Every structure is written in C-alpha cells, then in structure tokens.
Structure 1
C-alpha cells in the first residue's frame, strides 16, 4: 500500500491494546474453545477485512477480538486453571510438534471442567470446517463502480459444427496396446 498525504493513519494510542502473549502450546490447547467462544466477533472481523480491503477500517473490531480472547483466558484461569495447566503442559512437553495424541487423558479432564464450570462443550470434530451463515449487523459496503472494465456479452457464441476427425496418419500414440 502506497502512502500519500491523503492517507489518514490512525494514532498510535488507538492501536495499543493488551496483547495475548501466550505460548503456542497454551493457545493450541484452548483453540477449540477460543474458536467457539469468540466465533461471532471473529467472523465479523474477517468479514470487515475482506469487504473493506483496508485494515484501518477494522481496528475497533480487532480490539474486540483481542478482548474476547483475553476474557476467555481469564475465565479459564478463574475456573479451570489447574486442569488447563496440566493439559497445556502435556501438549508442550509430550512431543516435538505439539501433538495431542499423548494428552487425551488430561484433555478429557479439562473438557469435563469446561463443561461443568463454564457450561462450554468442546466443539465436535469438523465443526469449524462446516459452512455457516453469519448474519452481520453492519451494512455491506457499496459496490465499487469500475468504468475501466470492458462490457462482456452475456451469451457465449456457439461452437462451430465439429466434423469427425480422420484417423492419425502414422498410427495412434498407443501403438503398443493390442486388442
């Protein structure tokens, strides 16, 4: 993006928010619950990013996404801290690639705690792959008129009548196949 005098950049103070500075294992351990807990605001943020094609328009939504993430981790810390610490430590230390396969027992304990104390069930496998409709409260952006694009006719002209091809002069390419 080229910056000119006409481009208004937000002030640095509006961009400062508390960061979610957690380890990879911690984020991966809470990822299904995080995706479910902050699904609405995440979808709204991504919709804003794709529709506006300008990150400056979505700064406030980005702050809400960060706040939602921090709120989930505060809730986990207050209600299921010990179970979550065991699970994330297992994910961190049991393999070199943060694999979950060795941590199913601690995951079950954490899932039970989340269900009992926070009333959140772990999303089933494939939940985030399913297509869902997001009803956005914001209005869609107006379409951008582009006079530079040529007018394309709607109908495709029909193909010319195809005549049967004559057999190949020197035989086919599959000469080694016999019938």
Structure 2
C-alpha cells in the first residue's frame, strides 16, 4: 500500500490499549458471552470499518470493544472464576482441536454460575447467525426512496407462495448416507 504525505497516520501512543492476553481455550470458553455482552459496541465497530473502508477512524471504537471484553472477563473472574477455569481447562486438555463435546458437564456448571451470579444466559444455538438490524447513533439516516423511481409490478404473480412441497416420490436423494 502506498502512503502519501497527505495521509495522517495515528501516533503509536494513540494505538496502545490493554490487550486481552488470554489463551485460545480461555477465549473460546467465554466467546458466546463476550459476543452477547459486547454485541452493540462490536456491531458499531464493524459498521465503522465497513462504512469507512479504513481502520483509522475506528480506533476509538475498537478500544471500547477491547474494554468491554476486559470488563466481562473481570466480572467472570470476580464471580465464576473456579467454574470458568474448570471449563477452559477441559477445553484445553480434552482434545487437540479445542472441541466442546467432551466438556458439556463443566459447560453446564459454568453456564449455571453465569446465570445465577451475573444474570447472563448463554445465547441459543444460531443466535449469532440471525439477521438483526443495528441502530447506530453515528450513522446517517437511510436515504428516502426516489419519488421518480418507476413502480415495477410483480413479474411472476402466478408462482405459488410458500406452499409446502409434497414429499419426494422416490425417497431421499442421499438414501445411502442416512444411516
């Protein structure tokens, strides 16, 4: 990337922030709670990165994301340290690729502690895949539709709307893989 004299780069002192120097297993064991707890500020950061196509204006919001993560880990340390350490240790030691299936019992204990002491429930499966609208205080309002835009009629009014399909006549295409 070529940088000209007109480009202002931030000073190194502007970029320093307390980092989350944690292991992979530790981050993975708290990931659903971090994602849920810091969802709004993280969405704001990603929106800033997407809209600006440049990370420099988003440095301050990135610091807020890191601070939110650090705050959650401090709350976990103060309230559920033993349960969290057991769960993270299980993830670290039970497999070579940090899978969760061997650690469901310690996960249940940790989830119960988070629910009881911090009033945080683990997000449901698929929570982070759902489409949501993020209302940002810094984004401009969406543009009004152009009044001169022509109205286009629905080109396929004869197609059925969400009617259930009948089952396949000859069974599943992958009948050999269902066992």
> Normalising to structure 1: TM-score of the pair?
0.78
Residue matched to 2:26: 26
Look up the match of 1:106: 106
What does the per-residue CA deviation read over 1:96-115, in whole Å, with 9 as the maximum and x for residues that have no partner? 00000000000000000000
Q: Which has the larger radius of gyration?
A: 1
Name 2:15's counterpart in structure 1.
15
1:69 matched to which residue of 2? 69
Runs in 1 of length 4+ with deviation above 6 angstroms? Answer: none
How far the C-alpha of 1:2 sits from its partner, in A, is: 1.8
Corresponding residue pairs, total: 144
SS in 1 for 2:97: coil
Distance 2:92 2:42 in 1: 26
Cα distance, 1:139 vs. partner?
A: 2.6
- Provide the residue aligned with 2:115 in structure 1: 115
Residue 90 of structure 1 corresponds to 90
Deviation at 1:140, TM superposition (A): 3.4
TM-score, normalised to structure 2's length? 0.78
RMSD of equivalent CA atoms? 1.7
Residue matched to 2:60: 60
Question: Structure 2: any 5+ residue segments left out of the alignment?
Answer: 144-149, 151-179
